[in-house]
Amino acid sequence: MNKKIRFMSLLIVTAIFIALLSSNIQANTVIDGVEKIVSLHEYNEYSYISELMTTETVGLTDIGITETNAVAMYNSFFVTLQERALLSEKELISMGYDDAEIEIFRKYALGNSLTENELMAISGTCSGSLMLISCTNNQAEFRYYWAWDHKPIFAWGDSAAIRWMAYDSNGYDLNVIKTNAESNIKYYDGNTFINNASGTFETGLDFNSVNLQFDMSITYTTPTTIQSIKYAKSGNIDVTVALAQGVNNAINHIMVAGAYGHSTLSLDFPSISYSPPDSISIDFSPNATVEMIAIRQAVIYPTPRIEYID
C-alpha cells in the first residue's frame, strides 16, 4: 500500500470529528527572522461542546466520549462561564478579553441569553500549525505552534504533541532518531507578556513522539507584590531528527502530525498513547476529559517544502 494512502487511512476518527468543527486559514508567521505562510487549524471551545450535545451516542463512542461525559463537559462550561461573568473588569482584562467581550459577560451576568456568536467570542479559540524550519536528505527540523485568542474557559493542565515518520524514495520506513527537542511557552497577563517557560516533556513515549505538558493558568506575584494570574497564550515545540548511523538511504519525505490536548474535566495533564506501527496518529488520554484540538498533518520534503493535509 502506498505510504501516503496508509498515512491517511490511519488518521483517527477524532481528527475527522474535530475537522468538522474547525477551519483552516492561511497566515504569516516569522521563523528565524523570515516571514513564512503557514496553514492554521482553528478550534473554538463552545463550538466543540455544542456539537457534542447534538452528536449521537455512537458518534461520541467513536471519539472516546460517553454521553455522561459530554453532559458533564457542557454543564461545566456554563458553570465556569457564569463564574467568569461575575469577575471584575480588571480580572477579565487579565484573561485577555477586550471591551466588547467584557460587555458580553456583563450581559450574561444580568441573566440575558447569549447568541451563538457571542458564546463563541468569549470562549477560547485555539489555532495550531506545523511549520517546516529545515529539511535535507539526512536531517530535518519542524515545529508545532499553537496560540489562544484569550484564556480558555477550561484552564487546567494542557499538552501539545508531535509525531513523525520518515520514508525513502521507495516508500520504506527510515530509521531517523530525535537529536533535539525544544519548547517555549509564552505566559501572558491580559495582553502583557510575563515570561517564557519550557513545560515538561512526557517520558517513556514511542521513538517518534514528543508530548509537552504544561499548566494553562498560574497564579503569580507582580513586581508590585499584587497577586495576579497569567495564562499560556501561545507556544511551540521544535523537533530535530536525523538519519541513524549506518542508514544509507536518503530522506525522501517525512510525515508529521501535531495536536493540542485540552483538558476539560480533569486536572491531570493529557498523555499520548501508543501509536500503531507506521502511524503518526495522535490520541490523548484520558479521552473522556481531553479535547484533541488544533490538529495539523503535513508532509515535508528536502527541497525544502511542506504540503498540508486537510
pLDDT at residue 84, rounded to an integer: 95
Report how far apart, in Å, the C-alpha atoms of 235 and of each of 74, 145, 224 are: 27, 6, 27
Contacts of residue 125, Cβ cutoff 8 Å, sequence gap at least 6: 42, 43, 44, 45, 148, 149
**pLDDT tens profile 72-131:** 888 999 999 999 999 999 999 999 999 999 999 999 999 999 999 999 999 999 999 999
Q: How far does CA 264 lie from the centroid of its chain?
A: 14
Give bridge partners of residue 25 from the DSSP assignment: 40
**Band (305; pLDDT cuts 50, 70, 90):** very high
pLDDT at residue 9, rounded to an integer: 31
Residue 10 backbone dihedrals phi, psi, to 5 degrees: -95, -5
Helix (H, G, I), strand (E, B) or coil at 248: coil
Sign of the Cα torsion 257, 45, 72, 219 reads positive
Tell which phi-psi region holds residue 213, choosing left (phi > 0), alpha (psi between -120 and 50) or beta: beta
How high is the mean pLDDT of the chain? 82
Residue type, 180: N
Helix (H, G, I), strand (E, B) or coil at 247: coil
Instruction: Spell 249-277 as b/e; 16+ CB within 10 A means b.
Output: bebbbbbbbbbbbbbbeeeebbbbeebee
For the chain, what are the domain ranges? 3-42+125-309
Q: Are 135 and 251 in contact (CB under 8 A)?
A: yes
Tell which phi-psi region holds residue 208, choosing left (phi > 0), alpha (psi between -120 and 50) or beta: alpha
CA dist 295 and 290 (Å) reads 14
The 10 Å Cβ neighbour count of residue 224 is 6
**Band (22; pLDDT cuts 50, 70, 90):** very low
pLDDT at residue 35, rounded to an integer: 43
Q: Are 294 and 178 in contact (CB under 8 A)?
A: no
**pLDDT tens profile 207-265:** 889 999 999 999 999 888 888 889 999 999 999 999 999 899 999 999 999 989 888 87
C-alpha cell at position 242:
536525523
Contacts of residue 108, Cβ cutoff 8 Å, sequence gap at least 6: 81, 82, 85, 114
CA dist 199 and 202 (Å) reads 10
pLDDT for 12 beyond 90: no
Please state, for a pLDDT cut of 90, what percent of the chain lies above it.
53
CA-based end-to-end distance of the chain? 21
| Stronger pLDDT, 270 or 289, i.e. the higher one | 270
CA dist 236 and 13 (Å) reads 25
Helix (H, G, I), strand (E, B) or coil at 240: strand
